[in-house]
Structures are given as structure tokens and as C-alpha cells.
Amino acid sequence: MLIRTQKLCAKNTLRPLAGERMYCALRRPGVLRHRLLAIVHPPSPNSLRPINTTEQSGRNDNGKQTDWNLHRKVGITMALTGVLGLLVYKHSLKNDGTRLPDAGWIMPAVSAKTHPIPKLSQRKDFNFIADAVEVSAPAVVYLEIRDRQHVDFFTREPMTVSNGSGFIIESNGLILTNAHVVVSKPHTMLTVKLTDGRTFPGYVEHVDPVSDLATVRVQCDNLPTLKLGNSADLRTGEWVVALGSPLALNNTVTAGVVSTTQRPSQELGLRGKDINYIQTDAAITFGNSGGPLVNLDGEAIGINSMKVTSGISFAIPIDHAKEFLRKINESGSERRSGSNIPTYRRYIGITMLTLTPEILSELQQRNHKFPPIVRAGVLVWKVIQGSPAFSGGLQPGDIITHINGKEIKSSSDVYELLLEKDKKLSMTIYRGQQQTTVHIFPENTNA
């Protein structure tokens, strides 16, 4: 009985000791963390090994601690990689202009608000033509030529036969212009109108038909003047501005570029002239004749002379005008000097231009209405109002090919016919592509 009781007691005693050992083993940090990692990361079947004994577990605690540190480092590295990837993605979206939701919980953002600079007007920077006009326009004048022998039916005033432009070069009233503007018909009077509206009678002081230049004087002081530049250093492609008074409109402005700086008068068929004209695509109309051709500095580098067609105009270089003015100063009181030029006794009242092969080629390229059959002739580019040519029906733009049955190849042929005694000139002309004939009766004059 005693023996049995002792065995039962021994069994009861061993059970509590086994429970305490298990409880103590679970309380060890290494074993507990290993159990938790085993729950989170279940081992693969190949990694299952027999359970170590109590003695073996003590030797493996250090290895298990190393595995835990390794897992923790890998987790932290992956987390940092994700955060950096998100930041890079956010930065790329901002560069693309895509709006991204607020992510300030990841990394604080610093921003500075800037005020946009107000956009300044570009008119002052790029209106270079207006700047040139502002400097040169006050010196431009309007010239009107009236015929004393013909009066207007309604106003009873002398009839206007022509108009043109000029510009003041001396403050005491000296004006430079074209000779063909002021010497267009006998028995005429000249009126000068300034930009401020004042009008004065003009007096022609000097005329040079060779250079087609003239000076006009008005009795007035303290006038605005235009500075004379240099045409020698003018370049092809340079911007120029033509000023004048076409159709009696004061200070009309056209702009263009220089097509060539050396267009000899021989190529234009101009008789008795030795000038290298400036060719430009700035429109030079009848009223612009005599007005200044200025550069972007507001300096006169030419005197507007003639327009052949749209895009082809010519100006006299200002260096020729300087030479003309120098000769005037040397001659003193000599007036209206036109020596070595024959005085024609008959007058028809036109300004013409010889159609050279070069000009014909340019006209055919620019004007589709130009008659293809024309191979030579003269182009009428100005008709004096009230002149025999005006009364006979000639118009600007007409092409004269024959006079009294004789073929016309240059303006010299027309001048030679005016020396003859024929009272009537029968002219074969092309107006557009239509051929017609007009009859003109020249006037006798001693001018």
C-alpha cells in the first residue's frame, strides 16, 4: 500500500516539473521569437528538421538571433526602396504638369510663390519704321504745280497739272526735289505746303536735268530739316522708307528693302544721265517723286524718282544730290543751270522709261497682264494733267511701240521725233494686252 502511494506521488510530482520546464522554455526570448517567425513564415517541407533537445537549443540561439536581424534589415531596405520610388514617381508627374494629390505625409514640401513679370509692350522695340518716320516726316513738303492759263470751272483757281514732294535741307527754306516735278510745263506756278498746314509760294532756284534734281526756295525760317546720309555704304536688302505726298495726301509712308544699289541709267534707257540708281520694292508713286528715301536712322539716302511697276521703283542716290548742292554753292547766284542739254521746242507732257531687256523680263514676271508680244518700246509712267498727252488720251502705264509708223526702241527716238515739224503724232500703244492708237498734238514752247 505504501509502495503504491509513493508511485502515485512520484507521477504527480513529475508532471508539474515537466510543465514548469515547458513554461520556462517558452519564456526564453530566442525561443519565443523563433516561434513567432515560424508562424509568420512557415518553413518549407525541405527545411523541416528533428526537434532539437534542450541542450541543442541553447547552442542554436545565436543563429536564430542572426536570422531575425537579417529579416529585419531586408524589410527596412524594401520599405525605403518603396518610399524613394514613390518620391521619384511624384517628381516625374510634377515635371509632366500632372496634378498629384497631396503627399506631404511622405516628405514635407517647401514652395515659394513668385509673381509673374508683367509683359512689356513690344511696340517700342520693333516699330523701327515708325521711329524713322517720326524723325524724318516733319521735313517733308507737298509741292503743287498749277497752270496759270487754265482755271478750274468751279473755283476759278489755276488748275493743278501736277504734284510731287520734296524735303527741307536748310532751315531757311531750301528744299530739294526732282527736276521733273517742278519743270513740267510752261506758264506754271508752284505752291509749297508744309506738314503743319502752312502754304507758301515756291521759287525754283536751280535745276539740273542731267541728275533730275532741283532746289526750291520758300520765304520762311526755323523750319525742320532732314539730315543727309550716305548712299555709298547702302547694302542690298537694307530696310528703307519712302515718304511723300501721293494724290495730295501729306506724309504717306511706304516701306521696303533695297533690291540693288547699282542700277545704271543706261539699263533704264534714260537719255543724258550718268547715274547708278537705287532700286527698291518700296512703292514710289507720282506724288512720292522728289520725296526722301530714308534709312532706319531717319537719314535721307536717296530721292524718290520713279516707279515702273509694283515692286520696281528707283531713287537717285543722295551722294549725287550732295554733288549737285556742292556745284550750286560753287556757282553762286547762277540759276536754273541746264547746260549741255538741248532745249526741246515741243512739249507733250509725259515722263517715260525705256523698256530694256532687263526691265521687260522683270515686268513679265511681276505683271501677268503685260503683253507678251512687246519686245521693245517706252513705258509712260507719268502724264501731266492738262498737257497734250493728257488731252490725247495717254495714261500712265501705256507702252508706246510706234509713232507715225516708226518703231520706238528707246526714249531717244521720241525726243528725235519731237524735233521734227510734224504737227500730229500718231502713237501705237499697248494698254494692258489691248493695242490701240492715240493722236497727240505737241505744244510749241521756248522753255
Enumerate the active-site residues: 180, 212, 289
Dump the DSSP string for 141-157.
Answer: EEEEEEEEEEE-TTT-S
CB 381 within 8 A of CB 306: yes
- What's the rounded Cα separation, in Å, for the pair 258 and 234? 8
Residue among 383, 373, 375, 336 at smallest CA distance from 355: 375
Q: Quickly list DSSP for 348-381.
A: --EEEEE--HHHHHHHHHH-TTS-TT--S-EEEE
Helical (H) or strand (E) element with 29: helix 29-40
From the list 176, 172, 175, the residue with the least C-alpha distance to 220 is: 172
Does residue 315 contact residue 305 with C-beta atoms inside 8 Å?
Answer: yes
Q: Is 311 left (phi over 0), alpha (psi -120 to 50) or beta?
A: left
Q: How far apart are CA 186 and CA 31, in angstroms?
A: 132
Give first-to-last CA distance, the chain, whole Å. Answer: 177
Helix axes 54-95, 2-27, angle to 10 degrees: 30
- The sign of the dihedral angle between the CA atoms of 259, 264, 268, 271 is positive
CA distances from 321 to 183, 208, 229, 446 (A): 17, 10, 11, 28
- Determine contact, residues 191/146, Cβ cutoff 8 Å: yes
Among 307, 303, 141, 290, which Cα is nearest to 223's? 141
Helix, strand, coil % (nearest 5) of the chain? 35, 30, 40
